[in-house]
Amino acid sequence: FATEIHDGLGPLLSTIKMSVSSLAAAETNPASLSIIKNTNMVISEAIKSVQEISNNLSPHVLKNFGVAKAIRNFVNKINQSKGLKVVFKSNAIDHRFSESVEILLYRMVCELLNNSIKHSGASRVDIDMQLNGNLIQVNYKDNGVGFNTDGLCADKQGVGTGYFNMFNRVKALKGHIEVLSDLNKGVFVTISIPVNG
pLDDT tens by residue, 80-105: 887 889 999 999 999 999 988 998 89
In this prediction, residues 138-162 reach a mean pLDDT of 74
Average pLDDT, the chain: 85
Please list, in sequence order, all residues whose beta carbon lies within 8 angstroms of the beta carbon of residue 107, skipping any fewer than 6 positions away: 169
pTM of structure: 0.70
Lowest average pLDDT, out of 138-152, 154-168, 179-193, goes to: 154-168
Q: Residue 197: what pLDDT?
A: 55
For the segment 29-52, what is each residue's pLDDT rounded down to a tens digit? Answer: 888 888 998 898 999 888 888 777
Confidence of residue 154 (pLDDT cuts 50, 70, 90): very low
Q: Is 67 helix (H, G, I), strand (E, B) or coil?
A: helix
Give 97's Cβ-side CA count (13 Å radius): 27
Q: Is the pLDDT of residue 28 over 60?
A: yes
Sheet with 176-181, side-by-side order of all strands:
85-90, 124-132, 135-142, 187-194, 176-181
Cα separation, 125 vs 114, in Å, equals: 11
pLDDT band at 189 (very low <50, low <70, confident <90, very high): very high
Cα separation, 145 vs 116, whole angstroms: 9
pLDDT exceeds 90 at position 7: no
pLDDT bucket at 157, cuts 50 / 70 / 90:
very low
Where are the alpha helices (H) located in the chain, listed in sequence order?
2-4, 10-26, 30-57, 60-65, 67-80, 99-115, 161-172
Average pLDDT over residues 158-174: 79
Q: Tell me, what's the pLDDT at 148? A: 81
